Amino acid sequence: MKEPSHHLVQALHRRPWLRRAARRICRGWTVRQRFYQAWICLDAVEHSWAWTGKTRYEQFDRWLQDALVRLAVGQSAFLDIGANLGVMTLAVLLRVPRSVAVAVEPNPRACELLRRSLVLNDLAARGRVIEAVVTPGGRSVGFDFAGSVTGHVTAAGSRHPRGIAPGQLLAALDAGPVLVKLDVEGFEAELLPEFAGLPHRSRITLVVEMHPAGFRPGLDPAKVLAALRQSGAALSSLDGRPFAADTPAPFDHLVARWPAS
């Protein structure tokens, strides 16, 4: 489906009664938006914030897109955990020639849209989508799909998507170096020990979005940082600056690398 005229959409969006009607009529519709020299597919209702105005997904966390593209060069694969629509997956595939990516996301609609984007941009041979939530040991967990980009693991979640363990994902990739992006809305505190215990962790460059204390019950980023250091990980910011031993919380994104054992 062609992207609607932005002038028309903006005119309609100014009228509250039309917005309410559109949420009912357009539910499940797919629209597309220019993304670099290609396209990204969006849900007409859930992602209206990203296509009814001046917002463009090409600029969504652009600093993170640029950092991942830089880090993906020379890697055998990019593993995007918590991929949502696949903004980071598409950025890497489109901007790093011959790169391959595996996107893991439990939201069925987001997976559908990402698969459409891959096909639309002739990237299906280099990009794979796994509909699952990454958990320690691949155990089942509750999940809340509310929000266009903020679904999260929660004990109160009424749905239990397929679970998959980090080791399973890495075992299915080539044996070379892998760039992993981990954005799991506070669940990183439970997943990072799993990565730190992997037998071939030295092949991983792990980029983690860190969430503030209390974002999830019991989440303490300072303890997460200390545990990563105890595992032997070298920690740095996205621009390469090392984390000092007394780096204060809250953190933003960090990069973890383990030396060869």
> 206 phi and psi, to 5 degrees?
-110, 120
Domain that holds residue 46: 6-57
Each residue of 48-83: pLDDT tens digit? 777 777 778 999 899 999 999 999 999 999 999 999
Any residues with CB less than 8 A from the CB of 11 and at least 6 apart, and which?
Answer: none
Do 40 and 136 share a structural domain?
Answer: no
Q: What is the CATH number of the domain that holds 184?
A: 3.40.50.150
Q: Are residues 130 and 205 in the same domain?
A: yes
Strand duo 163-164 + 133-134: pairing: parallel
- pLDDT, one tens digit per residue, over 187-221 is 898 999 999 999 999 999 999 998 888 788 778 88
Task: Indicate the pTM of the whole model.
Answer: 0.87
Is there a single domain that holds both residue 45 and residue 65?
no
151 and 120 within one domain? yes
CB–CB of 68/170 below 8 Å?
A: no
SS3 226: helix
Q: Structural domain tally of the chain?
A: 2
Residue 103 pLDDT? 98
Q: Are residues 171 and 119 in the same domain?
A: yes
Nearest by Cα to 188 from 81, 104, 47, 260: 81
Would residue 82 count as lying in a domain? yes
Q: Does 178 lie in the same domain as 52?
A: no
**Residue 25: alpha-carbon gap to chain centroid:** 29
Which of 57, 72, 96 lies at the terminal end of a domain, its last residue?
57
Residues in the chain: 261
Contact 10, 57 (CB under 8 A): no
Both 46 and 144 in one domain: the answer is: no
Residue 1 lies in a domain: no
Using 70 as the pLDDT threshold, list the residues of the chain that sit under it. Answer: 1-28, 147-150, 156-157, 244-251
Looking at the fold, whether 43 and 82 belong to one and the same domain comes out as no
Same domain, 156 and 243: yes
Residue 69 and residue 173 in one domain: yes
Peptide bond into 193 cis (omega under 30): no
Spatial separation of the C-alpha atoms in residues 83 and 147, rounded to whole Å: 14
